[in-house]
Structure 1
Amino acid sequence: MESLRWLLVLLLGVFAIVRLVQAQDQQGFISLDCGLPVSEPSPYNEPLTGLRFSSDAKFIQTGKSGKIQANLVGDYLKPYARLRYFPDERRNCYTLSVEKDRRYLIRAGFMYGNYDGLNSNPTFDLHLGPNLWATIDLQKFVNGTMEEIIHTPTSSSLQVCLVKTGTTTPLISALELRPLDNRSFPTKSGSLKLFVRIYLNKTLGTATI
């Protein structure tokens, strides 16, 4: 369990590296703490990564706010303590303003944390616009999971949608976009979904994620 929790720290920490390379002011970044109530401070700086997160309330009109079990809060980065869940509509979408034809690194994070006390980890689909991005199976990844894609929007608006596929309730913990140099990861067409990431470290050795 500890290794999986540290995995979440490592994955989100990748964005801290992007921040240092690109700009200290995080210009163009979108970092959403999903489910963070508007009554709580927003934006805030995540203590470990230094990334500036904001409430997602302005980007979606549906869903409800939840919080993982209290005994789990200290084990995860701050954005993963909260979540937005969608008990009603089948399809619920975030609408984000982006730069047309600009390449983006997009990441969505999911942590159930038994927020509803039902011990019923959900399974649902994640869409980028009308297209299936991934199936989120929190029955398999009980300690949370993330999906990452490099995508070039063809308009100034981008939708990230959660789609109910069974009886369980879709949820999301964090949603992040990072603008990239269009020369990074060139493709003739389409998007690039993360297959594997390898960390090289003189102290810890090599870790494959």
Structure 2
Amino acid sequence: MKSLVLTLALIEIFSIIHLVRPQNQDGFISLDCGLSVDESPYTDPDSGLVYTTDSTLIQTGKSGRVDKAFDKLQIKPYLSMRYFPEGLRNCYGLNVTRDTTYFIGAMFLYGNYDDLNTYPNFDLYLGPNKWETIDLEGSKNGTWADIIHIPRSSFLQICLVKTGTTFPFISAIEIRPLKNDTYGPLPGSLSNSFRNYFNDSFGNIR
């Protein structure tokens, strides 16, 4: 019963990420963090999204992979990760379109990649501003952070900051341009507070 509960929890988390096949991926950034160059790019069979390696966007960190027990969940974009055993702050540098409204998402699935069975805790930053604290102890089956943001320049940084003894890591980054009137012209960013689905189906939702 315990394994069933854990599996259902994973399905609940990933259902907000998996989606019906998109018709147009112009402006999309879909990064499978830690993916080897030889495997990039690839099309995720569940979503139809084309994922690429993050290796050209960050010069630090090392590649890791979750325990093989997670393979049966068939969540390819989140099976690998980039972890950061050195430095307090490690940042991705991303080219974006200035003054465009973006949905920005980051996925974190620990999956005991280091065989230490110690769930990491660290901070996530968008540029100089703290976005969220990532605490995997409270989300042992993975967690997702998302934000709606309008960059004021053509360069965006997503940073992982070490705050304790465990190493920061990241599984995937997804950036999607939105219509600029989707959430109005207010300055600043909109961070997700919570999300509920009133649906009795296990179908994928976007």
1:6 has 2:6 as partner: no
2:66 to 68, 82, 95: 68
- Quickly say closer, same or farther: Cα 1:76–1:137, change in 2 above 3 A: farther
Letter in 2 for 1:186: G
**How far off is 1:74 after superposition?**
2.0
**Structure 2 residue 33 is the aligned partner of structure 1 residue 34:** yes
How far apart are the structure 2 equivalents of 1:52 and 1:134? 27
Unaligned runs of 5+ in 1: none
Q: Secondary structure at the match of 1:73?
A: helix
Residue 204 of structure 1: how far off its partner (Å): 3.2
Q: Is the 8 A contact 1:128 1:161 kept in 2?
A: yes
How far apart are the structure 2 equivalents of 1:121 and 1:200? 30
Q: What amino acid is the match of 1:10?
A: S
Partner of 1:115: 113
Q: What is the root-mean-square deviation in Å for CA atoms of aligned residues?
A: 1.5
Indicate the residue corresponding to 1:204 in structure 2.
201
Q: Give structure 2 stretches of 5+ with no counterpart.
A: 1-5
Matches within 5 A, 1:15-26: 16=19, 20=22, 24-26=23-25
Identity of aligned residues (%): 51
Q: CA deviation at 1:187?
A: 4.6
Q: For residues 143-183 of structure 1, what are the alpha-carbon distances to aligned partners after superposition, in whole Å with 9 as ceiling and x for unaligned?
A: 00000000000000000000000110000000010000000
How far the C-alpha of 1:76 sits from its partner, in A, is 4.7
Q: Deviations over 1:99-144 (max 9, x none)?
A: 0000000000001100000111100000000000000001111100
In the superposition, the TM-score normalised over structure 1's length comes to 0.90
C-alpha distance in structure 1 between counterparts of 2:160 and 2:118, whole Å = 17
8 Å contact from structure 1 (residues 104, 151) kept in 2: yes
CA–CA distance in structure 2, aligned partners of residues 9 and 137 of structure 1: 17
The one-letter amino acid of 2:61's match is: G
Offset, 1:75: 1.7
* Higher relative contact order structure (alpha carbons within 8 Å, sequence separation ≥ 6): 2
For residue 3 of structure 1, give the secondary structure of its aligned residue in structure 2: helix
- 3-state DSSP class of the match of 1:4? helix
Structure 1 Cα separation of the partners of residues 198 and 177 of structure 2: 24
Structure 2 counterparts to residues 1-209 of structure 1, below 5 A: 1-13=6-18, 16=19, 20=22, 24-40=23-39, 42-201=40-199, 204=201
Counterpart residue identity of residue 3, structure 1: L
Find the aligned partners of 1:188 and 1:57 in 2 and give their Cα distance: 34
TM-score by length of structure 2 reads 0.91
Shift of 1:77: 1.2
Deviation at 1:43, TM superposition (A): 1.2
What is the alpha-carbon distance in structure 2 between the residues aligned to residue 4 and residue 198 of structure 1? 14
SS in 2 for 1:39: helix
Distance 1:86 1:28, change over 3 A: same
- Figure out how many residues of one structure are paired with residues of the other and give that number: 197
Distance in structure 2 (CA, Å) of the matches to 1:61 and 1:99: 22
